[in-house]
């Protein structure tokens, strides 16, 4: 397994181009299943979860071509409607083929996503919504099997706001017979990006960006060209990195208005942030103030930024509380941050962080995607050398993170698994 070796103490300076949004690219790639005509995508991030999704589509018979950030999908010859356990167990977002397969082919067999480090993450709402649209669903031998001659429009109210649940049901509804209303829909920008692609493919969707999506089903969808929105979580990760390590960095290819909750909290911590149409400049030349935060659904503070902001709080001036309201086990980074000298205690959904002047380098282990980003940020502020193991977690969700940080002046080196 690859490791990262980071020597702390470097300030960050320069420019970084933020990649396309992982959590928009994954549902958008699966939406390619909905049409027999080619879909041309741009600004697709080059990271492990995208490569896994392309592999999943290829074994279904989808022809794909990837040239840097450009991806072309051709689902004119899909001949296998199964998402196997071997792939699904490496990436839960594989569940996003369920809606498109049932919508276009009338059947699907998708392995149940197993457990995950950050929580149970059931998919009961995905299933409930498809059943409301007339799908016959059985769950046995670890597979979800779904069948429907043709899905029927329905009014669906999910029990809680679910991002991929909304996306799966949206992709099912666009080819259903009649109108579907999804109440309590997720409003994350990535859901809107998927909806915009579907409209470009000929879908009829109203309420994009709101918590009520109204879809008029159509007979079929045609091909389209689409550019994936920038990754607001990657952008937020770099903002937190500069806030913690100090420096002056310009982020290019971002949408500042998708990050307001994070930007507000960073300004409260004393960070200077300027915003343009598609750029942000972040400056920090003193110790941050400790800031309380609570995660919630968009547009509130994103759970995917909780670990990164906690890394900043570990060295901030004062004590802070971080409340994780979305996932039941998303504090795996806490013990590892404490190994670097942080003073964090957990009480249920709340982490209490007493800021310290300095962290000290140590051997630590990544446990999940955003936890690994949190450890990278903390390591850049720690005295001496930090070795982060299992960074395949980082590679799943970030496009060339260490190359971007090195360009900004960080001292980050990758040790390949076989070298260690």
Cβ nearer to ligand EPZ, comparing 125 with 263: 125
- Of 3, 104, 109, 126, the one binding ligand EPZ (CB under 6 A) is 126
The helix or strand, by DSSP H or E, that contains position 386, with its residue range, turns out to be strand 385-389
Question: Which residues are CB-neighbours of 291 under 8 A, at least 6 positions away?
Answer: 265, 268, 269, 309, 313, 316, 320
Residues tagged active-site: 116
From 149-157, 162-170, 215-223, 309-317, span contacting ligand EPZ (CB under 6 A) = 162-170
Binding track, positions 380-399, relative to ligand EPZ; x by CB under 6 A:
-----------------x--
Residues 34-53 that bind ligand EPZ (CB under 6 A): none
- Max CA separation in the chain (angstroms): 63
- Residue from 119, 142, 203 nearest 167 by CA: 203
**Residue closer to ligand EPZ, measured from CB, 73 or 382:** 73
Q: Give the nearest distance from C-beta 327 to ligand EPZ in angstroms.
A: 5
Binder among 38, 61, 106, 119 for ligand EPZ (CB under 6 A): 119
Classify the C-alpha dihedral 231-54-39-173 as positive or negative: negative
What residues form DSSP beta bridges with 321? 352
Q: Which is nearer to ligand EPZ, 35 or 308 (CB)?
A: 308
Q: Which one of 122, 142, 384, 417 is in contact with ligand EPZ (CB under 6 A)?
A: 122
Strand pairing partners for 343? 354
Of 30-38, 115-123, 200-208, 306-314, which segment contacts ligand EPZ by CB under 6 A? 115-123
- Least distance (Å) between residue 285 CB and ligand EPZ: 30
Mask for 310-329, x = binds ligand EPZ (CB under 6 A): ----------------xx--
- The reply, when asked if residue 122 is annotated as ligand binding, is yes
Choice from 162, 306, 313, 320 touching ligand EPZ (CB under 6 A): 162
CA distances from 143 to 112, 146, 149 (A): 5, 10, 20
Distance (Å) of CA 352 to CA 269, 272, 345: 16, 25, 5
User: What are the CA-CA distances from residue 221 to residues 106, 175, 203 (Å)?
Assistant: 15, 8, 7
Q: Does 372 bind ligand EPZ (CB under 6 A)?
A: no
Which residue, 374, 381, 362, is CA-closest to 401?
374
Report if residue 256 touches ligand EPZ, rule: CB under 6 A. Answer: no
- Is residue 265 within the footprint of ligand EPZ (CB under 6 A)? no
Tell me if 304 is assigned to a ligand binding site.
yes
d(CA 127, CA 125): 5
Cβ-proximal residues to 16 (8 Å cutoff; 6+ apart), any chain: 238, 249, 250, 251, 252, 404, 407, 408
User: CA dihedral in degrees (117, 120, 121, 122; nearest 10)?
Assistant: 150
CB of 124 to ligand EPZ, least distance (A): 5
Residues that bind ligand EPZ (CB under 6 A): 22-23, 26, 93, 119-126, 160, 162-165, 303-304, 326-327, 369-370, 397
Return binding residues for UDP-N-acetyl-alpha-D-glucosamine. 92, 121-125, 304, 326
């Amino acid at each position: 397994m690859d490791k990262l070796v980071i020597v702390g103490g470097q300030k960050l300076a320069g420019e970084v181009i933020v990649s396309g949004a992982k959590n928009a690219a994954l549902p958008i790639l699966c939406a390619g299943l909905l049409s027999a005509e080619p879909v041309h995508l741009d600004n697709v991030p080059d990271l492990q979860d995208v490569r896994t999704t392309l592999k999943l589509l290829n074994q279904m018979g989808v022809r794909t071509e990837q040239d840097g950030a450009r991806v072309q999908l051709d689902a004119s010859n899909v001949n296998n409607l199964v998402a196997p356990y071997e792939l699904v167990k490496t990436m839960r977002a594989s569940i996003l083929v369920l809606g498109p397969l049932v919508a276009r082919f009338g059947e699907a067999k998708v392995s149940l996503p197993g457990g995950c480090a950050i929580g149970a993450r059931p998919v009961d709402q995905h299933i409930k919504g498809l059943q409301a649209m007339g799908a016959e669903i059985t769950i046995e031998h670890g597979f979800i099997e779904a069948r429907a001659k043709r899905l029927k429009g329905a009014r669906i109210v999910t029990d809680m706001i679910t991002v991929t649940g909304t996306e799966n049901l949206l992709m099912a509804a666009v080819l259903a017979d009649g109108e579907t209303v999804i109440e309590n829909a997720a409003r994350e920008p990535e859901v809107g990006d998927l909806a915009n692609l579907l409209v470009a493919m000929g879908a009829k969707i109203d309420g994009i960006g709101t918590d009520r999506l109204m879809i008029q089903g159509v007979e079929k969808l045609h091909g389209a060209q689409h550019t994936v929105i920038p990754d607001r979580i990657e952008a937020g990760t770099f903002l937190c990195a500069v806030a913690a390590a100090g420096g002056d960095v310009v982020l290019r290819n971002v949408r500042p208005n998708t990050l307001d909750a994070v930007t507000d909290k960073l300004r409260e911590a004393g960070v200077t942030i300027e915003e343009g149409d598609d750029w942000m400049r972040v400056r920090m030349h003193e110790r941050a103030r400790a800031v309380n935060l609570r995660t919630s659904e968009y547009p509130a503070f994103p759970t995917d930024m909780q670990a990164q902001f906690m890394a900043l709080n570990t060295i901030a001036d004062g004590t802070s509380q971080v409340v994780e309201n979305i996932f039941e086990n998303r504090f795996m980074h806490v013990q590892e941050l404490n190994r670097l000298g942080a003073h964090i205690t957990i009480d249920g959904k709340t982490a209490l962080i007493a800021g310290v002047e300095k962290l000290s380098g140590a051997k630590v282990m990544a446990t999940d995607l955003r936890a690994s980003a949190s450890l990278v940020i903390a390591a850049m502020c720690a005295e001496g050398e930090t070795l982060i193991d299992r960074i395949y977690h980082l590679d799943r969700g970030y496009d060339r993170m260490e190359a971007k940080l090195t360009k900004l002046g960080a001292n980050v080196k990758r040790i390949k698994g076989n070298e260690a």
